[in-house]
Amino acid sequence: MERDSSVIQQLLALQDGTYGLGGEGLDWTYYDTMAVDQSTPTLSYRFFTIPLGQGGKNLADTNMKTASMIPQGQKFAIYAIGGIYRAAAEYDAAADYQAWLTMLERTTIDFQISGKATLLQMTLSQLFGVHHGLEVATATIVGFPTIQKAASIVPLNTPILLASLVNFEIELVHHAALDAAQDGDKIKILLIGKLARQS
């Protein structure tokens, strides 16, 4: 008995879609991580410059496979920038928390592409959505919450476009000395957007 041709076409259609002759578009996040180092003389870090597998970085730290550039055959449109701050130890005192707020306020990030002016500039206070901070005496705090992690995403009104093999980086600069409580903390920068790549 001969199968209905429409049924055969439907079955064949179920096998299409994963692999194609053209490219594909994906929701994607490129990310990179740096540890806060109080002893760094310049107090600056360059994100996305050390790729996966180098400098002790694994997939939990970064998913960039090439230093400072989008790989060949890809194009990336950034629609938001995000950040994750992970403390190495609990901030369990008011002074630690106040020092953390000061550090966020006194630290900037610059998004740079070779041959272009800075495309994005903000403080970590803006990135993490921390727009307030009050100095208080430790004795006035009852049950002070421990601070271990902060995370935020900031949408961009104008997307940043990164074509294949275009050099870029994000420079983070602390404009004031760091507190000892922050040593070893980790900052992760997220570039969130749409990735077009050859399939």
Q: What's the predicted TM-score (pTM) here? A: 0.82
Using alpha carbons, list the distances in angstroms from residue 133 to 23, 66, 82, 93, 101.
47, 39, 21, 14, 6
Burial tier of 154 (Cβ tally within 10 Å: 0-12, 13-18, 19+):
middle
In a domain, 16, yes or no: no
Check residue 21 and give its pLDDT.
Answer: 63
In a domain, 91, yes or no: yes
Check residue 189 and give its pLDDT.
Answer: 96
Tens of each residue's pLDDT in the chain, 199 residues = 455 677 667 666 666 666 666 678 999 999 999 998 877 767 889 999 999 999 999 999 999 999 999 989 999 999 999 999 988 887 777 788 888 888 999 999 999 998 888 999 999 999 987 654 444 444 444 444 455 667 889 999 999 999 999 999 999 999 998 888 888 999 999 999 999 988 6
In a domain, 7, yes or no: no
In a domain, 19, yes or no: no
In a domain, 21, yes or no: no
Check residue 2 and give its pLDDT.
Answer: 54
Q: How far is CA 51 from the centre of its chain?
A: 14
The whole-angstrom separation of Cα 193 and Cα 70 is: 13
145 is written with which tokens? 């919450």
Check residue 19 and give its pLDDT.
Answer: 64
Domain count, the chain: 1
In a domain, 4, yes or no: no
In a domain, 64, yes or no: yes
Check residue 92 and give its pLDDT.
Answer: 73
CATH number assigned to the domain comprising residue 49: 2.60.120
Check residue 89 and give its pLDDT.
Answer: 83
In a domain, 65, yes or no: yes
Domain that includes residue 172, residue range: 26-198
